Each structure stands twice: as C-alpha cells, then as structure tokens.
Amino acid sequence: MRIHSLGLALLLTLSMTGAALAVGLTIDNVIGMHKSGLPAPVIVQTLQSTNSSFNLTVQDLAKLEQAGVPKAVIEVMMGAGGEAAPPPPPAPEPAPEPAGEGEDELKKLQESEAVERAKIEEEARIRAAVKAAADKERKRIASENKLKIAQALSAAREALKDERYAEAAKLFSEFLDSSEQAGNSKTTAHASAKLGLAEALHKLGLYGNAAELYHQLLDFGADSDVFVPAFIGLRDCSKQISYSPVTLEGLTNHFIGNAPQKVQDSYNYFLGKFFFDYNRSDEALKYLSAVKPGSDDYADAQYIQGLVMIQLAGDDEESEDWAKNIIGASGAFQNAVIAATENDIPRIRDLAYMALARIAYTLSSFDAAIFYYRKIPSDSTSYVDALHEAGWSYFLKGDTKRGMGIFHTLDGPDWKNFFLPDTYLLEATVFMNKCHFEVAYNAITRLEKQYLALRKPLTQFIETYTLPEEIYNAFVLEQYKENVQIPHLLRMAVISNTEFYDLYVTVTKYRRELAKIRDRSGEMGEALTRKLIDAVETRHHENRIALGIKISELLQGLSESLENLDIQVTEIRIEIDEVKAEELAKQVDELAQGKQEEADVAAAQKRASIFVGDKYITWGFEGEYWSDEINNYRSNLEDVCK
C-alpha cells in the first residue's frame, strides 16, 4: 500500500507521543491522508482515535470537496465540530510588531526546520526498511528458483542416465522453455539443459535436431564447459546425417588451442572439410594441413588435401603452380594410402589409389596408372571405374590385347547396370583398325541399341519434370506424370554418383527422423514434438530441393554425353565405311595382280576371344571367371588387314 510520506510521518508521530493526541488533526492533514491513498474508513478511524475537532467554514468545505475528500469523511469532521460556521468577520488590521518578537519568529522557524528534518529522516528510514524487505524477498525468491532449477535439472539428468531418453528430452525442453521466458537463456543451467536435450535426441537417433542444438551450444565459447562435448556430438551427428550449413563458418571465431589435441585435430578436419565443400581451397588447406599424423582424421584429411591441390593446379600444365600442386597432391594421396592402410580405412585407401592412378594417367605414365588401378580390390565401390580406366591405360600404352580384354569383360552381364558407352566405341575403333568390319558394325549397333536409344526417354523426362521438387518426386518417389519414367540404366548412372548418394542418404534419414518423432510424440509431449517436427521438416524440404537440383544436373550431363556419343557414332560409321572401302580396293588390286591370298580370314574371325593364363575362352561369357584375374584378360584379335 502506498502511503504519502507526510501523512505517514504524522500518523507515526501521533501514535508515539501523547502530546500530539491533544492537538488533533488539521484539514490539511485530512487532505494529505486522502491524497496519499488512504481509504475513507482508515481516515475516519484516525479522526476518531485522535479526538480531532473541526469548526468547518464554507471555505473549508469547498477546500475539502475540491481536494476530493470522501463525503463520509467530511460528515465525520462536521460531526466532530458541529455544522459549518458562518463566515468569520473580517480580520482586524495587524498591530505593529513589538520589539523582541523577531527573535520569537526565528525560534519558531528553527523549530519548524527541525520538525521537517525529523520528517525527512523518518521517511529515509522507512524507505531503507522497505528496500531491505524487498531485497530479502528477492533473495528468498531467487533461492526458491535455484532449488526448483536444481530439482528440474536433476530429474532430467536422472532420466537421461537411466536411458529414458524421451522423458529426459521432455524434461529438458520444459526447463528450457521456462528459462527462456524468464530471460535466462545465457546461464550455465540453460547451457547444461540444452546439452542434455541434444544428448537425449542424439540417443533417440534424431540426428538432425541434435546437430542443430550442438551447433547452437558452440556459441557459448571454447571456454565453456559445454563446448567440447557439444562439438564431439556435432561431429558424430554429421557422420550420421549430412550437416554442413553455411553458418558453420562461425566456428573459425573460436580459439581451441587449449583443447586436447584429439579435439583440435577433429575440429581442424571438420572446418577443412566444410571449406572444401564450399570450394574455398585456401581456407580448406589451412585447416586440413593442421591435422596431425596419427589422428583419427589424418587419412581423410590428407585425401581431401590432395583433392584441394588438384583443384588449385588447374589445367595449365606449363605453369609452375601446376607442377607444384600436382607433386603436393601426390604426396598427400600417398600419406592417405599409408594412414588408411594402417588404420584399416578401405574407403579412403581405395579413393587415394584411384587419385594416384589418375594423376599418373594424366601425366601419360600408363604403367604407373595401371599399377595403382590394380590396387583396387574387386569388392570396392571404385572397382568398376578402376577397371574401366585401366582398360584405357592399356589401350593408350599400345597394349591393345589387354585393353580389349578388359573392355570385353565390362561388356559382360555382371556390369550391365553400369553406364560405360565408350567401351563399345573403343571396341568398334579397334575392330575397324584390324579390319574386322562386321564386328565393328556389331559394336556400333549394340551401342546404339543400349545407349543412344535412351536419348528420347531422357529428353522426355527432362522436359516433363522441370522443378526440383517435381524431379525429386518422379526420380526418388516414382510419382510420375503421364507415366513418363527414367530408363533403368540412366537411373543407375545417377545413383552411382557419390554426390547424389550423400544427398539421398541425408534426405532419407530426415524422413526417417520425422517418423521417429511421431512415434515418440506421446512420451515427449506435444510442445517438444511440434518443435522437433518443424525443424526437421524445414531441413527435409531444403535437402529434397538440393537433391532435385543435383538429379537435374546429372541428367543434363548424361544428355550431353549421349548427344556427343551420337556424333561420335556417326563419325565412326563413316570412318568404318571409308576404311572398309580402302581395304576392298586393296584386295581388288591384289586380285588384279594375281596375288590373292585367302580372302576368308576376316569372315572366319566373327568374334573376338580372350584367354586367362594359357587357356582360351570364346566370348560368350556368362560371368564365370576369377575376379582377381580380370586385369590379365587379353583379346586374341588378329589383324587381318591387307
């Protein structure tokens, strides 16, 4: 209750000094009590307890009414002193002030000042008492809140410890909601609760939402208790689901030099990979090169560092930077092979071998390229690419028989789902050069039937589905318009692309995360469920769009490849006809000169054959072979040109 300072001081004075009781209250006191907010009954009780007496004049009544004093109070005042008195007669002129009265006035003034000072001191004392009481109440409330916080966090942590992850997530979320409303989102308790929520979601397999929370926790800074566990959680989630938003660049603002070396290596690799994904080569090299040998990420860091150097080398083979970067890339790939072999990371080992083979191929060191290609085991996802490129290496180094042996192999049934049209093109060229014209035509015919026939349905698919969401729905979900589908071989060509695969896995995991959230909605509560679904739906939609764009890019690339292939087929048909005509002209000339030899050699050689070791096998191949001997296959194709 708000009390006017003057009225409060007066009441205290009246209640503590008997002398004041005899004096009673004045009209100004009553008005002061009213303006201070005292209710009418309290003012009436005060008038009665002080035996106050009033002789109200007309002017007094007007003053009271103008001040808004309640009618009930005025009636009590009139009862205490009778009805309002008639206006007083005019006051007589004041008599001249006798000598010595000035000292009396000074004394009265001093006494008045002393009273005023006492009032001020009393008001200060009351204010201090009120402040002390308020501080005490705040401390009590703060203490109670701390106890509630401790109890709430304790219950949530207990649930997390007992592997009741859905319940723990709900409790942590409720605490976070209450602390955010109270404006305590930067406290240690808030950070601890957010870490607990992230860990609970992580254990539930909700990697997308967990990654978002771990990422937010890094804003508390490298010196906070939550930084290291949050980063470790983010790394693990990013291995389960592709999480690389552009805002991760903010991690460069943190100094992690005081963190354990294992954390520093992981942090540097994570940032290096992030900058590599966004084609920021210099920054990628800065962080990747900081990953120490022996760390868990060293092999991967060296492989990506080699890729960055290949990008920096560019196409100008005459420049000094090109040579420097190619040498640097080779060294990085060699380090990756060694580290991956020691730590049994076959994926990185095989990719690094492929990279070394391609560098050697680019430098026309075909023997070195073949050496590295043959390091790729048959169970590797890179095996078909390695086999295909090794065939070209044999061909370009002049070993046509071994090159053709590999290309014949790739034409077999075990690789019918791989998009390798240039195998037919190369076969046709070799057959033509050795004057096996019918076999060359057959190779071209197979190429047209298996690959060029795909142009029309591919064009129709591209023209029918133009928006990323439409492309995603048609290609991934098989939601077709007018039954316009993509041919199986082209679908396999897209699926085998690593960038497609990474995006597809991410979209699939977000879709599964949505299903998991809905399944646990009863345990986690409506509020948390809604927030989790909103976050995942946003990410799921973004990645669907990205996947649709990637599919469109890959299909456009396939369309361009088929267009170029069509041109090459036309050219090689013309070339076969020209070479065949020249060969026939030679044979006619030989006949005319009486030097004819057996003319049925070409007709007898209708099909090529291969041999494994010392055994010849006619090509009618059914896939029965030793997979580790494929690189030893040789074509037994003879040159029958005249």
What is the residue-wise DSSP string for 413-426? GGGTTS--THHHHH
- Classify strands 634-635 and 615-618 as parallel, antiparallel or unpaired: unpaired
Residue pointed to by tokens 């690419």: 385
When pLDDT is averaged across residues 380-393 and rounded to a whole number, the result is 90
Closest CA to 335 of 314, 353, 312, 360: 353
Mean pLDDT check: name the lowest of 39-43, 80-84, 112-116, 263-267. Answer: 80-84
Is residue 20 pLDDT above 70, yes or no? no
CA distance 1 to 262: 63
CA distance 168 to 590: 93
Closest CA to 302 of 313, 292, 314: 292
CA distance 388 to 399: 15
Domain that holds residue 573: 457-594+601-635
State the pLDDT confidence band at 23, using cuts at 50, 70 and 90: very low
Show which of 69, 86, 103 is a domain's final residue: 86
Mean pLDDT check: name the lowest of 70-74, 180-184, 349-353, 597-601. Answer: 597-601
CA distance 181 to 585: 94
Is the alpha carbon torsion for 214, 215, 218, 219 positive or negative? negative
Degrees, nearest 5: CA angle 155-156-162: 90
DSSP string, 330-378: HHHHHHHHHHHHHTT-HHHHHHHHHHHHHHHHHTT-HHHHHHHHTTS-T
How many CA atoms lie less than 13 Å away from 304 in the CB half-sphere? Answer: 29
C-alpha distances (whole Å) from 263 to each of 211, 373, 396 are 17, 35, 47
State the pLDDT confidence band at 56, using cuts at 50, 70 and 90: confident
Residue 186 tokens read as 């930067």
CA distance 57 to 163: 84
Q: Is residue 60 part of a domain?
A: yes
What residue type is 210 in one-letter code?
A: A
Q: Is residue 28 part of a domain?
A: yes
State the pLDDT confidence band at 89, using cuts at 50, 70 and 90: low
Question: Please, are residues 436 and 605 in contact by the beta-carbon 8 Å criterion?
Answer: yes
C-alpha distances (whole Å) from 542 to each of 214, 243, 547 are 20, 12, 9
> Which are the contacts of 409, defined by CB distance < 8 A and separation ≥ 6?
387, 415, 610, 621, 625, 630, 633
Residue pointed to by tokens 């195998």: 423
Is residue 223 pLDDT above 70, yes or no? yes
CA distance 201 to 198: 5
CA distance 232 to 87: 92
Show which of 86, 114, 144 is a domain's final residue: 86
Neighbours of 577 (CB within 10 A): 13
Closest CA to 354 of 318, 300, 390, 321: 390
pTM of the model: 0.67
CA distance 144 to 150: 10
For the stretch 304-340, pLDDT in tens is 999 999 999 988 888 888 999 999 999 999 999 999 9
Rg of the chain in Å (alpha carbons):
47
> Which are the contacts of 594, defined by CB distance < 8 A and separation ≥ 6?
none
Show which of 59, 86, 113 is a domain's final residue: 86
Neighbours of 537 (CB within 10 A): 14
Q: 3-class secondary structure for 48-67?
A: HHCCCCCCCEHHHHHHHHHC
Is residue 15 pLDDT above 70, yes or no? no
C-alpha distances (whole Å) from 151 to each of 145, 187, 226 are 10, 16, 20
Report which DSSP code applies to 397: T
- Let me know if 395 is exposed, middle or buried by CB neighbors in 10 A (0-12, 13-18, 19+): buried
Residue pointed to by tokens 């020249």: 582
E strands, 385-459, are none
State the pLDDT confidence band at 622, using cuts at 50, 70 and 90: very low
Report which DSSP code applies to 616: E
Q: Is residue 346 part of a domain?
A: no
Is residue 288 pLDDT above 90, yes or no? yes
What residue type is 230 in one-letter code?
A: A
- Reduced to 3 states (helix: H, G, I; strand: E, B; else coil), residue 205 is coil
Q: Is residue 523 part of a domain?
A: yes
What residue type is 259 in one-letter code?
A: A
Tell me, what's the pLDDT at 227? 94
Q: Is residue 428 part of a domain?
A: no
CA distance 441 to 62: 124
State the pLDDT confidence band at 374, using cuts at 50, 70 and 90: very high
- Classify strands 634-635 and 609-612 as parallel, antiparallel or unpaired: antiparallel
Q: Is residue 468 part of a domain?
A: yes
CA distance 93 to 357: 125
- Let me know if 483 is exposed, middle or buried by CB neighbors in 10 A (0-12, 13-18, 19+): exposed
Mutual angle of helices 526-592 and 468-475, in 10-degree steps: 80
Tell me, what's the pLDDT at 625? 42
When pLDDT is averaged across residues 176-198 and rounded to a whole number, the result is 81
When pLDDT is averaged across residues 135-147 and rounded to a whole number, the result is 65
Q: 3-class secondary structure for 586-599?
A: HHHHHHHCCCCCCC
Helices then strands (H, E): number in the chain? Answer: 28, 3
When pLDDT is averaged across residues 591-600 and rounded to a whole number, the result is 54
Tell me, what's the pLDDT at 130? 67
Tell me, what's the pLDDT at 93? 54
For the stretch 540-556, pLDDT in tens is 999 999 999 999 999 99
Neighbours of 138 (CB within 10 A): 10
Tell me, what's the pLDDT at 2? 40
Domain count, the chain: 2
Q: Is residue 407 part of a domain?
A: no
CA distance 413 to 491: 18
Question: Please, are residues 216 and 226 in contact by the beta-carbon 8 Å criterion?
Answer: no
Mean pLDDT check: name the lowest of 79-83, 468-472, 514-518. Answer: 79-83
For the stretch 443-482, pLDDT in tens is 889 889 989 999 999 999 999 999 999 999 999 999 999 8
State the pLDDT confidence band at 128, using cuts at 50, 70 and 90: confident
For 610, the enclosing helix (H) or strand (E) is strand 609-612
State the pLDDT confidence band at 608, using cuts at 50, 70 and 90: very low
Q: Is residue 69 part of a domain?
A: yes
The partner residues of 611 in beta bridges, in order of sequence, read 616, 634
What residue type is 333 in one-letter code?
A: F
Tell me, what's the pLDDT at 83? 46
Tell me, what's the pLDDT at 77? 86
